[in-house]
Amino acid sequence: MATKKPKPLTDKSRIIIGGIGGIAPLIISLLVVDLTSLLHDLALMDAIGLTVRCLVLTFVGAMVGYLHNTEQEPFKVFQLGIAAPALLATAINGYSVIGPPASLEEMKTASYQSEPTKQFTLSLITTAHAEEPQLRGKYINKKAFKEPKITNVERFMRGLIGKRISAKGDDWFVITGSHRNHQQAKEQILQIKSKRYAGKIYQPTNDSNYYAVAIGANLTLDEAKELRNHAILKGLPKDTYLWRK
């Protein structure tokens, strides 16, 4: 009995399959990594930016599927639809900050920790991922923990590329240690408290396995440098460093 040949894919079919491929990586990323953080502080401009991102990736995937008019296997069209938007998403995600880049000294990892260093990520960090310090008493850095002031443009860009871009440069953190477990981070909080510094513990996010101890958040670069230098003079770890979201 002769095997029926599959019907050739129409242009419409390739466009639909390619478009689904284009949006698939973003959907998986939102479900697995970013959705909780995004929904925690989702506003209208975030949603608009995310919608534009979805439309662009879908369009690119659909266009790639349409242009490969000789391809007749649906799964291969789906793969082709994934490929080009994935490269575009990678390029967008690589452009994560605006303004002066951090120097190697400012981006180095602190050695004050219990185990060897590994980089950690605080992208899209919210108060849901951090322990609020008790700022009662005469802490030197009691005004160093600021709430991010996000404009509508920044919210749109956050939805579009998945990261906050600060035009004001007020997205610097001052990190004084990173630790394998929460208890070790709490012990450092007690140590710096004796020097009249409050600390804030940021939980591991994304591919990080470390708890970061911060003594300042959402600062300008000048504010962060001043806080770091003053903290080192007061006896905090000499490799306390700056980190930018």
How does pLDDT run across 92-104, given as a tens digit for each residue?
655 543 333 333 2
* Claim to verify: residue 155 and residue 232 sit in the same structural domain: yes
Give 137's pLDDT tier (boundaries 50, 70, 90): low
Name which of 137, 138, 134, 150 is nearest 218 in CA terms.
150
Q: Is residue 136 in a domain? A: yes
**pLDDT for res 138:** 82
Q: Count up the domains in the chain and report the number.
A: 2
Q: Is residue 115 in a domain? A: yes
**pLDDT for res 27:** 84
Q: Which of 94, 125, 157 is the last residue of a domain?
A: 94
pLDDT at 123 over 50: no
* Claim to verify: residue 228 and residue 131 sit in the same structural domain: yes
How does pLDDT run across 176-217, given as a tens digit for each residue?
999 989 999 999 999 999 999 999 998 886 667 889 999 999
Q: Is residue 169 in a domain? A: yes
* Claim to verify: residue 70 and residue 169 sit in the same structural domain: no
pTM attached to this predicted model: 0.55
* Claim to verify: residue 216 and residue 117 sit in the same structural domain: yes
Beta sheet of 241-244, edge-to-edge order = 200-202, 211-219, 172-179, 241-244
Tell me whether residue 242 is exposed, middle or buried, using C-beta atoms within 10 angstroms of its C-beta: 0 to 12, 13 to 18, 19 or more.
Answer: buried
* Claim to verify: residue 80 and residue 109 sit in the same structural domain: no
Q: Is residue 99 in a domain? A: no
Q: Which of 60, 94, 128 is the last residue of a domain?
A: 94
Compute how many other C-beta atoms are within 10 angstroms of the C-beta atom of residue 73: 11
Distance CA 72, CA 119 (A): 44
Q: Is residue 6 in a domain? A: no
Q: Which of 59, 94, 129 is the last residue of a domain?
A: 94
Tell me whether residue 103 is exposed, middle or buried, using C-beta atoms within 10 angstroms of its C-beta: 0 to 12, 13 to 18, 19 or more.
Answer: exposed
* Claim to verify: residue 44 and residue 69 sit in the same structural domain: yes
How does pLDDT run across 50-101, given as a tens digit for each residue?
899 999 999 999 999 999 988 889 999 999 999 877 777 666 655 543 333 3
* Claim to verify: residue 88 and residue 110 sit in the same structural domain: no
Q: If you average pLDDT over residues 17-32, what whole number do you get? A: 86
* Claim to verify: residue 123 and residue 71 sit in the same structural domain: no
* Claim to verify: residue 83 and residue 111 sit in the same structural domain: no
Name which of 6, 5, 52 is nearest 26 in CA terms.
52
Distance CA 231, CA 61 (A): 50
Q: Which domain holds residue 27?
A: 11-94
